[in-house]
Every structure is written in C-alpha cells, then in structure tokens.
Amino acid sequence: MTLNIEQARHAMIEQQVRPWNVVDMQALGAMNAMPRERFVPAQYKSLAFTDAALPIGHGEWMLKPVLEGRMPQALKPGANDAELEIGTGSGFITACLAHLARAVTSIDIHADFVDAAKAKLAELEITNVQYECVDALTYRPDRQFDAIAVTGAVAVVPETFKQWLRPNGRLFVIQGQSPVQEAVCITRTGDAFETESLFETDVPYLLGASPKQLFSL
C-alpha cells in the first residue's frame, strides 16, 4: 500500500505531536512545512511519521516527532533570532529552526551528518544556515545566540552552553541520568539563569557528554 505522505504528516501532527502538549502554532507550522520523509534514512522512509526514534548512523538517532515539536515550542524562535543547534543529526530540526529564525548555526561532530544536512536543506532552498563540523564540548563560537537547541542529552549541562546565550536567550537541553532524563529550558536573565522543567524523557547522549562511570573495588 502506498503511503499517502500528506495524510501521514497530518496524522503525525494531530495524533502524536499535539496531544503531547505541543500547541504553539509556529512550531506545528514548521513541522508541517518541512518534509520529514526526506530526512529519514531510505530504509526507514515508511516509518517517517511514526512515534519512534530512528537510527541514522554512528549510533545516533533521529528524535521522535513529539520531541521535535516540544523543542521549538520551548525555544519560541523569533523571526530576528540567531540560533545554535548542537547536534545536526538528520537535519530535520535544523530545517524547522531555519523556518522560524533569521539565522541558524548547526554543528555536529560527524562530517557526513553535516554534509547530508547541507545538501538536503540546499534542495529545499533553505539558505539561512551555517554548518560546522566540530565537537560541541570544545566548540568556541565567536558570538552569542538568542536560542540554543541541544538535540542529544548531557549528564550535566556544560557551563559553556549557558555562556553562549545572549541576555534573555533560551537553551533547550535534556539533562540527567538515563533512563529518566529531564528536558529543561534555561533562560539567561542578566548574569543569572532560570531553569524551567518541561518533561521527562530518555534520549541518547551527545558524544562525550554521558555520565562518568563510577568504579568500585
């Protein structure tokens, strides 16, 4: 049976994403506008709109649609915002953020992820994204950002991530110990940071950001 792409996309948004408390029309609009099926590995295209994380290589995963919706809703990207995405991955979240913000910088440690995302967004004529192949834990940007989206978990939020925020900037990140991690939105208020707890989840860690192993004799 042939998959009806638009019906499947509509069902994904209405039956998965909305019921998971994604009500922001901009976030929903970005997910509807971006062709998720073009960012899914070829062997999983029939699963492009299912409520499942999908493997994309290097032990990394494309997040579930519900998480891809909660992220921009928490960040509330503005049309004049400059955003940083930590973890390009499949490129789908990159495309959604680019749809909402003025400019996006997307970084990933895997060069093939960066190259593939760049090609896919070019096909969609999305031109407001800069890409860098770099380790997020050693990255040193030359500017600050209005919003930062971290697409993998961290055991502890690096202080550097917070320092990359402009005043009133927002950071979406998933922190803590698997299998019970916490998604939070951190807002910079002057030299202080306010943390809002959003929901519990369980996603793979950024490379190098998993909990340290404790050994005992």
Domain limits, the chain: 5-201
User: Helix, strand, coil: what percent of the chain each, to 5?
Assistant: 35, 30, 35
**pLDDT of 156:** 98
How far, in Å, CA of 138 to CA of 173, rounded?
17
Helix (H), strand (E) at residue 191: none
CATH architecture of the domain with residue range 5-201: 3-Layer(aba) Sandwich (3.40)
| Average pLDDT value for residue range 24-29 | 98
**pLDDT of 212:** 86
Q: Residue 154 corresponds to which tokens in the numbers above?
A: 């961290």
pLDDT digit string, tens, across residues 117-164 = 999 999 999 999 999 999 999 999 999 999 999 999 999 999 999 999
Of 65, 2, 78, 71, the C-alpha closest to 34 is 65
The answer for residues whose C-beta is within 8 angstroms of residue 143's C-beta and 6 or more apart is: 82
Q: Tell me the pTM.
A: 0.95
| Average pLDDT value for residue range 48-76 | 97
Question: Is 50 exceeded by the pLDDT of residue 1?
Answer: no
What's the mean per-residue pLDDT of the chain?
96
pLDDT digit string, tens, across residues 82-115 = 999 999 999 999 999 999 999 999 999 999 999 9
Percent of the chain with pLDDT over 90: 95
